[in-house]
Amino acid sequence: MSQQLINHNSDLKQLRNEGYQVEVYGGHLVVHHIPYVTPERKPAMGVLVSELSLSGNNTVKPSTHVMLFSGEQPCNMDGSIITGLQHGAQNRPLGNGITINRSFSNKPPSGYSNYYEKVKRYAEIISAPAIALDETLTDRPFKPILTPDDSVFKYLDTNSSRANIEFINQKLSDQKIAIVGLGGTGAYVLDLVAKTCVSEIHLFDGDVFLNHNAFRSPGAASLDVLNTQTRKVEYYTQVYGAMRRKIIPHDYYVTKENMHELLGMDYVFLCIDNNLIRYECIEFLLLNAVSFIDVGLGVNIVDNELIGTVRVTSGLETKKDHIAGRIPKGEDGDNEYATNVQIAELNSLNATLAVLKWKKLSGFYQDLEKECHTTYSINVSQLLNEDRDEA
């Protein structure tokens, strides 16, 4: 994706053609091999890092004039700080072996109209003293960087780069995720997981996408889609396939005969409303030390209003003694949610709580409670965390 993006945009292509060692990484524009003078008056090489604002695959005007830098404080030939660049010091990993050490501010009256202007300006200011100190140095080595186009995304995730969380995102990158059941909650789980850099997303469901699914799922399905009675896994693979790769559809329900397909998954989201099958899956996953997150909704009509509970229960190798008392085994005949009541916001909330827990388990979010069972009671707005993992 890096080289394709550079080829597609004249400002990035001009940087490369003039010899700058550029690449696109994690939603940033990265320029390697920038000579500078250290406070000890010695030449060194640093890396310029800029945010990258895109509209699809097209660069737009930089959203900020600020430039990030990996290296020591750039100085003049005598070791004095280049004051025109001072902005702030920091120390955070970007990924790919790069750590951001400081940020610079050098703003033209009208800002920078493109990335060629921005990079060229900062590179000249930083490298000029070093080149004057050693004329063999250059900020334009004419050495292209060959980067594999192996991203799961079909376009760059500039949202994460703007938030400076790419290195945290990488904690999810090697994971294989299974979503069992693509009803309302499962579809929202997919919507959230698809926006992460997990390596694979496996979808299990043997049903078709019908009108009632459209009203409690993310997005807006067209009438043409509903008229064709598209299979759920096919519909969602097509929708999210526009954004990312490695969504693997399994157009059938999970049963005892095919549960072995869940082996090798890092996490399994159980989003099914058949309690008997649910518990068979849970027993299988616990037996094989596969971590799972089970979701559930219980909604009833009382005095012409809806009340109920949203539940998220995690099963881990280190915490599983709570499962029997938290997840129902038999069918519940007094659950109005089994009818066609449209409550997409509860599906969305259920999925959000489940994905938050998964990200906590993966080290994305800090987890001080380490709860393995969470319930939200609608009528009293109470969120309750229980069953702490003490491991």
Is residue 339 scored above 70 in pLDDT? no
The residue with greater pLDDT, 205 or 301, is 205
- Residue 160's pLDDT band (cuts 50, 70, 90): confident
Is residue 7 scored above 90 in pLDDT? no
Superfamily of domain 173-388: NAD(P)-binding Rossmann-like Domain (3.40.50.720)
The residue with greater pLDDT, 265 or 93, is 265
Domain edges within the chain: 2-156, 173-388
pTM of the model: 0.78
Is residue 64 scored above 50 in pLDDT? yes
What percent of the chain lies above the pLDDT cut of 70?
Answer: 95
- Residue 149's pLDDT band (cuts 50, 70, 90): low
Alpha carbon 146 to chain centroid, angstroms: 24
Arithmetic mean of pLDDT, 346-371: 97
pLDDT of residue 301: 86
- Residue 1's pLDDT band (cuts 50, 70, 90): low
245-292: pLDDT as tens digits: 999 999 999 999 999 999 999 999 999 988 889 999 999 999 999 999
What percent of the chain lies above the pLDDT cut of 90?
Answer: 75
Measure the CA–CA gap between 113 and 136, rounded to whole angstroms. Answer: 31
End-to-end CA separation in angstroms for the chain? 41
Is residue 229 scored above 60 in pLDDT? yes
What length does the chain have?
391
Measure the CA–CA gap between 377 and 383, rounded to whole angstroms. Answer: 7
